[in-house]
Amino acid sequence: MITIESVTRTFAGFTAVDDVSFTAQPGRVTGFLGPNGAGKSTTMRILVGLTRATSGTASISGRRYVDLPNPGLEVGVLLDASAQHAGRTGREILSIAQRFMGLPRGRVEEMLDLVSLTAEEASRRVRDYSLGMRQRLGIATALLGEPEVLILDEPANGLDPAGIRWMRGLLLDYADRGGTVLLSSHLLHEIEVIADDLVVIGNGRIVAQGAKSQLLRSAGSLLRTTQREVLARALIDAGVSSSPVGEDGLLAQADTAEVGNIAFTTGVPVIELRPADGAGLEDMFLQLTAESRRDTIRDNQREGAVA
């Protein structure tokens, strides 16, 4: 189990992580989402002792990572697949970790087989690996000690579609056997497929968290209309907030019955109306993180300059 309690981290007056609290439970995959610069990587680095928190605590099974006697046997970590010794072979990197953890030699070959690195590939120097191969090697290193907790930052980067499906099955099986998985990724579809719980961060603060099914159910209603601006104004007049989706859609923060009644009363034709859980994670993510995304900030700056 992973527990983050009121964690804050400031750098020279800039608050990168602001009073963040959440848990990742055993037997479940927790998706950790946010735009670039939102604080995901800093939070994960604090969790594994690479960055010191200004305040708050981060623990794994009730203990700080730095207090674990042999961390690799309890926590598997992959934060940057490129941060591996480029001059060593894949087998050498796993063998060093195996010796350090006090594991039998056969464990190295088991991991190479698990992540589908061939004997020829395992004998190559990491500098000659593709990003996808480095990801596989990083996952093998994380799983080497048969830990109960996995902390992975963008593990699907560089994997082809077959590799992504392989990783999905690997992590689902790991959680099904009682493991705790904290997974950060920009591939929202993959998070939507694999995650049981979601934690969404923006501008260093948690903007939403909970079971995936509950968060998507509470996302409101998705509708399409040929008169989007007219309906958006009518929704505002009725006290319902909304945001544009696609060319003719709106994501409204009300159930379908209320939205349908407002559209009918306004006389606006509705092409489609359905609960927003069908719209998926992407729409919810874009709405929750709108104020912290670079494109939104840039557009606001342009509007301010014009004004």
Structure tokens at 213: 């099914």
| pLDDT of res. 263 | 95
In Å, how far are 41, 95, 289 from 23, measured between CA atoms?
Answer: 16, 33, 20
- Environment class of residue 150 by beta-carbon count within 10 Å: exposed (0-12), middle (13-18) or buried (19+)? buried
| Residues forming a β-bridge with 275 | 221
Sheet holding 242-245, edge to edge: 242-245, 249-252, 221-225, 270-275
| Nearest to 289, CA basis, from 174, 162, 186, 163 | 186
CA–CA distance, 229 with 250 (Å, rounded to integer): 9
Tens digit of pLDDT per residue, the chain (307 long)? Answer: 999 999 999 999 899 999 999 999 999 999 999 888 889 999 999 999 999 999 999 999 999 999 999 999 999 999 998 889 999 999 999 999 999 999 999 999 999 999 999 999 999 999 999 999 999 999 999 999 999 999 999 988 888 999 999 999 999 999 999 999 999 988 788 888 899 999 999 889 998 899 887 777 666 788 899 999 999 999 999 999 888 877 888 888 888 889 999 999 999 999 999 877 555 677 777 777 776 655 544 444 444 444 4
CA–CA distance, 27 with 50 (Å, rounded to integer): 26
Domains and CATH numbers, the chain: 2-209 (3.40.50.300), 216-306 (3.30.70)
